Structure 1
Amino acid sequence: MESDNLKYQGRCKEFGNGCTWLIRIVMRKRKSTWEVRRYNGPHTCMATSISSDHKQLDYHVICARIFPLVRADASVSIKVLQEATEATYGFKPSYRKVWLAKQKVVAQIYGDWEESYADLPRWILGVIFTMDGFVALLKTSPVRVGDQVDEDRVYFHRMFWTFPPCIEAFRYCKPLVSIDGTHLYGKYGGTLLLAIAQDGNLNIFPVAFALVEGENAESWSFFLSNLRRHVTPQEGILVISDRHNGIKAALESPGSGW
Structure 2
Amino acid sequence: MGRGVQHPIAAFNDLSGFQEANVGLFGRHAEFENELSEGQCYNSKEEMKATIYKFHILCNKEIENTHSDKQRLRFKCMDHRCDATRIDHAQLTAGMVADCITAHMRNDVDVSINVVKIAIAQTYNGQVPAYNKLWRGRELEIARQFGSWEGSYALIVPLLEAIKRKNSGRYKGKMLIATGYDEKSQLLPLVFSLVDTENFEDCAWFMQWLRRNVVHSRFVCVITDRNKGIKKVFRQDDLGWNGEDEDECVHRLCATHIAENMRKNHCND
TM-score (norm 2): 0.40
More helix by share: 2
Higher strand residue share: 1
TM-score when scaled to structure 1?
A: 0.41
Asked which structure has the greater RCO (Cα within 8 Å, sep 6+), the reply is 1
